[in-house]
Amino acid sequence: MARVLINESITDAGLDCLRAAGHQVDIRSGLSGDDLAEALQGAQALVVRSATQVTAEVLDAVDGLVVVGRAGIGLDNIDVRAATRRGVMVVNAPMSNSVSAAEHAMALLLAQARNVPQAHADLVGGSWDRTRWQGVELADKTLGIVGLGRIGRMVAERAKAFGMRVIAHDPYVAEEYAHRIDVELCPLESLMGRSDFVSLHLARTPETLGLIDAGLLSLAKPGIRIVNAARGGIVDEEALAAAIASGQVGGAAFDVFATEPTTESPLFGLPQVVVTPHLGASTTEAQDKAGVIIAEQVDLALAGEYVPFAVNVEAEAASKEIRPFIPLAQTLGAVFGLLPGSLPECLDVEFRGEIGTHDNSMAILAVVKGLLDHVSAEAVTFVNAMDMARERGLEVRAISVAAPRDYLNTITLRSASHSLAGTVVGLHGEPRIVMVDEHSVDVPWSDHMLIARSFNRPGVIGVMGSALGDAGVNIGNMDVGQSDDGETMLMVLATDSSVPGGVLDELRSHQDILSADRLDLA
């Protein structure tokens, strides 16, 4: 029997599942920080939803914690990396609220188009005003979907039933797949310029934070209406409020905000805006599914059995020979996903050396999980990774070669546009990047990296160092690889913090620097 601390409400069916398994269910509410850490003393499991912040400080203050369960999909409120470092498994309930989230996006779309909550408030307040709240039809309008994952596709299907044309931006979906579901892919700027409505379905990552900003809104079709039922922070709320006030944007409907919970936003005072307090998953059906699924996953973890929806498991099913390479495989997938360009239609994963003589199926899953983790609004697990890859039109091919080259063991990822290789070194199996786009390098991976291509000329490395130094960005490691003809070189820098956008612009404007790309893995 284990003690399971429930810090946010889950369905009775989930609680009953845990009790039936013989566990002690300790129900609390709203604990945070030191109070949460104190309550976790002696507990083996913690179950939360979206409000509880499971920070590194909380995890470090607790001994004996086996598993943290998130009764839902998103993991923004759990420090998964800290949990992994502490040996704490993190599990979630993927797909439990996909239908609810898609339906809520449609509800917001309709409410915004027809001013439903504003008209309701007016009427119950004593005013019958049919003219003020005149709306617009969805039929024959263009809906732009940013993020064509599972929920984005559900919204597309429902929008078509209303007679809408659907276009989408998602560099991680193949053209062929989008064509099969009758959705036209286009660049983000084009989507904003053509859409009457935009619905966001993105993960919140360093790349998507503030994605919809003042510059992008200035390119939008006048009168555009924006729906965000994905993650807060993807839209610059100040910039959007200003664009609505100016008339450039016709209105918005938001379920998520940069800071949650919140009762303040520049959007709240605008009559053209509809808001809800993160209700995307708040349906009876979604909560029932999430509660039962998370209870089952927590029970499996406590029993030491295979846990299908563990998001940070380091492949218990992998052989002892492959297990040390699972973190490397996932890291390479994550780095590859951040390289410039779109998701490839085909990705070759080569295992060379001794690892090429073993079953690498779990390492393949780790590569795909790492690749999709940074681009999917839905949580990626070792169970759903390949299904999600197929849904996005990605074919993954495994290649095994027993003969080593340069290193005893390497994992290499190749697409039509990029290549990336890594190995592990030392007693602790430190992952290192040893090749980028056919340039040999040797750099430990970092949460923050910079890859720059330039002409092979004197002073270029100094330009890079000076630009980063002036911005207060420390270089922890770096290496340089030359092209075969010696004309160009590629620099990989591991930095202590993210490189500011202004520094990237400065580097890209230099006559000898061909490209500079920031990779934030945190």
Concerning whether 278 is annotated as a catalytic residue, the answer is yes
Report d(CA 415, CA 521) in Å as an integer. Answer: 20
Residue 312 lies in a domain: no
| 178 in the same domain as 55 | no
Q: In this predicted model, which residue has the larger pLDDT, 472 or 379?
A: 472
Catalytic annotation, pick one of 260, 316, 345, 438 = 260
Contact 516, 486 (CB under 8 A): no
CA–CA distance from 349 to each of 336, 404, 420, 431 (Å)?
11, 15, 10, 16
Domain range enclosing 482:
323-520
Residue 316 lies in a domain: no
| 257 in the same domain as 150 | yes
Catalytic annotation, pick one of 49, 278, 352, 374 = 278
Structural domains in the chain (count): 3
Cα four-point dihedral sign 229, 230, 231, 233:
negative
Residue 332 lies in a domain: yes
| 52 in the same domain as 41 | yes
| 109 in the same domain as 86 | no
**Per-residue exposure over 241-274, b if at least 16 CB sit within 10 Å of its own CB, e if not:** bebbeeebbbbbbbbbbbeeeeeebbbeebebbb
Give residue 124's Cα distance to chain centre: 41
| 482 in the same domain as 410 | yes
Contact 92, 47 (CB under 8 A): no
Q: What would the pLDDT profile of 90-109 be if each residue is shown by its tens digit?
A: 999 887 888 999 999 999 99
Tell me the CATH number at 475. 3.30.1330.90
Q: What would the pLDDT profile of 129-157 be if each residue is shown by its tens digit?
A: 999 999 999 999 999 999 998 899 999 99
Concerning whether 104 is annotated as a catalytic residue, the answer is no
Both tokens of 66, joined, read 């086996």
| 92 in the same domain as 103 | no
Cα four-point dihedral sign 179, 181, 183, 187:
negative
Concerning whether 314 is annotated as a catalytic residue, the answer is no
The mean pLDDT of 430-440, rounded to a whole number, is 91
Q: What would the pLDDT profile of 243-252 be if each residue is shown by its tens digit?
A: 999 999 999 9
Q: What would the pLDDT profile of 470-512 be if each residue is shown by its tens digit?
A: 999 999 999 999 888 888 999 999 999 999 989 999 999 999 9
Listed residue (154, 133, 80, 117) closest to 311, CA to CA: 80
| 270 in the same domain as 331 | no
- Plot region of 478 (φ>0 → left; ψ -120 to 50 → alpha; else → beta): beta
Residue 156 lies in a domain: yes
pTM, two decimal places: 0.74
| 194 in the same domain as 120 | yes
Catalytic annotation, pick one of 231, 352, 392, 439 = 231
Check pLDDT > 70 for residue 306: yes
| 513 in the same domain as 392 | yes
Tell me the CATH number at 291. 3.40.50.720
| 330 in the same domain as 250 | no
Most confident of 101-110, 176-185, 434-443: 101-110
Residues 6+ apart with CB under 8 A from 389: 368, 371, 372, 396
Residues 6+ apart with CB under 8 A from 397: 346, 347, 348, 349
pLDDT band at 258 (very low <50, low <70, confident <90, very high): very high
